[in-house]
Amino acid sequence: MKPKFSRAPIKEAGRVAYLGESSNLTLLVHDRHGSADVVHYPLPDNVRGARSRLTDLDDVEIDILHQRGAFLLPPRSLCDELVESYFKWVAPIVPVINRTRFMRQYQDPKNPPSLLLLQSMLLAGSRVCVNPQLMDSQGSTTPAAMTFYKRAKALYDANYEDDRVTIVQALVLMGWYWEGPEDVTRNVFYWSRVATIVAQGSGMHRSVDQSQLSATDKKLWKRIWWTLFTRDRSVAVALGRPVHINTDDSDVDMLCEEDFIEEEDDNPNPQYPPDQTHVQFFLQYVKLCEIMGLVLSQQYSVASKARRQNAIDLTHSDMALADWLQNCPKDVYWEPTRHQFWSALLHSNYYTTLCLLHRAHMPPATSTRGGFPEDSAYPSRNIAFQAAGMITSIIANLRAHNELQFAPAFMVYSLFSALIMHVYQNRSSVPAVQQQTQERIRICMDGLKDVSRVWVVAKMVYTLFESILGNKVLEERLQKAAGKRHKKTQQTWGKLHTTAQQQQQQQQQQQQQQQQEQQERRPEDTKRKYDDMALEFAPSNGLAPQESYERSRPQTPARETATVAMGAPPPILSPRQQAASQLQQQQQGQAQDTFMGGTSSRPHTRPPTPFNPSFSVPATPPDLYLVTRNSPSISQALWENFQPDQLFPEGSGVVGIQNSPPPWLVRNGGVPQLRVVWGDGWGV
């Protein structure tokens, strides 16, 4: 069989061959068609790839599928209700199916949809359907979900489906069966990774703008890819696993509202116009998931342990989150007085990300005032407590509206995160705080009990906290867990402080040596040629000139040159020394890690950090390399005047977080100085 790739229009999106640039076959295809931008090609007709291959299965395989009930479907009325529940409560989170196209097939007995896809949809729909026929004696839908899962899995294992798009869609939905992380080969982590692998094999991670896919399929592919991106980040956070998708390997444009319009060539007026709330929810959710992945890589990855700039990453991540909150559309902006399910779900993810970020910088519960600068200079503990309180408020609202049962499995992780913070805060010596915290614990425990009817993993978490609460030994063990990381952070800042002192001493020695050399120079030395003289002079105010913060990862303070420390003037250098110094700076800049975007850092950058006043704040804000950002970069005003209370809605009553001016930085003649803000850290 000779493969015959052509540039004919791709009529079946599930029969696409992807040729990456490193493939040798790419050279032949590009040479033939004269285009180096095309990476998607239709499979030739003589390559197998029908929508289903029932005729290719032998009798044994078919018999196994019958025994698994793979060809069975619920009664039509119940099936309709499951499909409707899926599109109402699940599809906005994973918009991987063209509803117009699916419903057309679903209502056509002669051209039904893929059985693998339908069984997967019934699995996901059973999680959010309230029909009593699906519930057991405990009111749980888990047995029904397991039935649909086994049917879908049997079809997948038998290679029943060959359409690659359909396989990816089904794999994403099979991840809705999540009973626990113990089975590493058949949990949500496994299915989301397999879905990504199949999608990358078809080239969904690459732009389809230059492909011959139809306009409708191009939109669907973009939605599928960004859905896989959100699943990758959220599952990695919930299970503590590494992320799989590297944005450097993808050039798929960020989604826009038009990508949710499902018009067909024969019907320009879509039967199911997009819900604007659903659209905005997913757009903001994608952006939030990128920041979520950023927090993982900067605070919890193996590489982050070797770096010494966690606090720098902390402030940048906070700014990204504050920017996300400020630019969140009103349609999905959650407020307690204006409850809406999708805005509540979106912001529960936001505050969970805040907890994830700041728990890595929390001092232990027994911490006293004073200590290292970060204990008082940046209120990570209060931010984490306040974020947990906001999660609890959202849970209370969802329970009041009987909507908590429709939340996805990530809500279990959100409840888990909030409860951990509440256990910390419950050690407060303030009676009013203790009373409020205990009420929040009760709300979260009740929420876990409700969610456990849908997600068995919630029952595990509920049982865990039942044993922890009231047990002083277990509570203290949980509280000390963050203290270990906090101690490492203290050691890191101690090293940074020592390094800064060494740099300052080295600089002073260099200046004294230069002054001594100048005094010992003979008079004839002043008659050197003009082109051999150094032309570097310090500004009149004795401060090093501000440098723009380029699009790069900030340099580690220990690697900064001595000339930028403590605002001292640069030494006088000869032209040869200048050239050698510039070459050394360029080499150091190229050796640095990237900040977020995967490209080499540029030289002449300076890390702004509230914990080290030796370094000046850049004149321009950093570009955080957020590939999902289609809004303006972080504003200059936010960069210069960022305050931790901007991480929360106005009027949320964030106690212990200063409102004005910025709590860690005050300017004195243009030089940032550390200002200690005392607080017991228990006021939320």
Environment class of 486 (CB within 10 Å of its CB; exposed 0-12, middle 13-18, buried 19+): buried
Pairing mode of beta strands 16-18, 40-42: antiparallel
What pLDDT, on a 0 to 100 scale, did the predictor assign at position 429?
Answer: 82
> What is the reported pTM?
0.76
Domain boundaries of the chain, sorted by first residue: 51-225, 327-365+380-491
Taking only Cα atoms into account, the Rg of the chain, rounded to an integer number of angstroms, comes to 29
| pLDDT higher than 60, residue 604 | no
Which letter does DSSP use for residue 557 in this model? G
d(CA 489, CA 496): 10
Contact 487, 374 (CB under 8 A): no
d(CA 498, CA 149): 58
Query: 34 or 281: which carries more pLDDT confidence?
Result: 281
Please compute the mean of the pLDDT values over residues 122-136 and round it to a whole number.
96
- Each residue of 228-272: pLDDT tens digit? 999 999 999 999 999 999 999 999 999 999 999 998 766 667 789
The gap from C-alpha 53 to its chain's centroid, in whole angstroms, comes to 38
Which letter does DSSP use for residue 300 in this model? I
Question: Residue 668: in which H helix or E strand, if any?
Answer: strand 665-668
- Each residue of 201-212: pLDDT tens digit? 889 999 988 888
Please compute the mean of the pLDDT values over residues 526-551 and round it to a whole number.
42
- Each residue of 106-115: pLDDT tens digit? 999 999 999 9
Environment class of 11 (CB within 10 Å of its CB; exposed 0-12, middle 13-18, buried 19+): exposed
Number of Cβ within 10 Å of residue 568's Cβ equals 19
Residue 201 tokens, joined:
């094999």
pLDDT bin (cut points 50, 70, 90) of residue 611 is very low
What pLDDT, on a 0 to 100 scale, did the predictor assign at position 450?
Answer: 95
Please compute the mean of the pLDDT values over residues 496-506 and round it to a whole number.
64
What pLDDT, on a 0 to 100 scale, did the predictor assign at position 485?
Answer: 57
Residue 77 tokens, joined:
């009325």
What pLDDT, on a 0 to 100 scale, did the predictor assign at position 549?
Answer: 35
The gap from C-alpha 146 to its chain's centroid, in whole angstroms, comes to 29
Contact 288, 596 (CB under 8 A): no
Contact 376, 679 (CB under 8 A): yes
pLDDT bin (cut points 50, 70, 90) of residue 343 is very high
Compute CA distances 302 → 334, 337, 354, 651, whole Å: 35, 42, 20, 38
Q: Which residues of 641-662 are buried (b: 16+ CB within 10 A; e: fewer)?
A: ebbbbbbbbeebebebbbeeeb
Contact 540, 517 (CB under 8 A): no
- Each residue of 279-296: pLDDT tens digit? 999 999 999 999 999 999
What pLDDT, on a 0 to 100 scale, did the predictor assign at position 66?
Answer: 95
d(CA 345, CA 343): 5
Query: 634 or 359: which carries more pLDDT confidence?
Result: 359
Least confident of 305-319, 445-459, 574-588: 574-588
d(CA 621, CA 316): 10
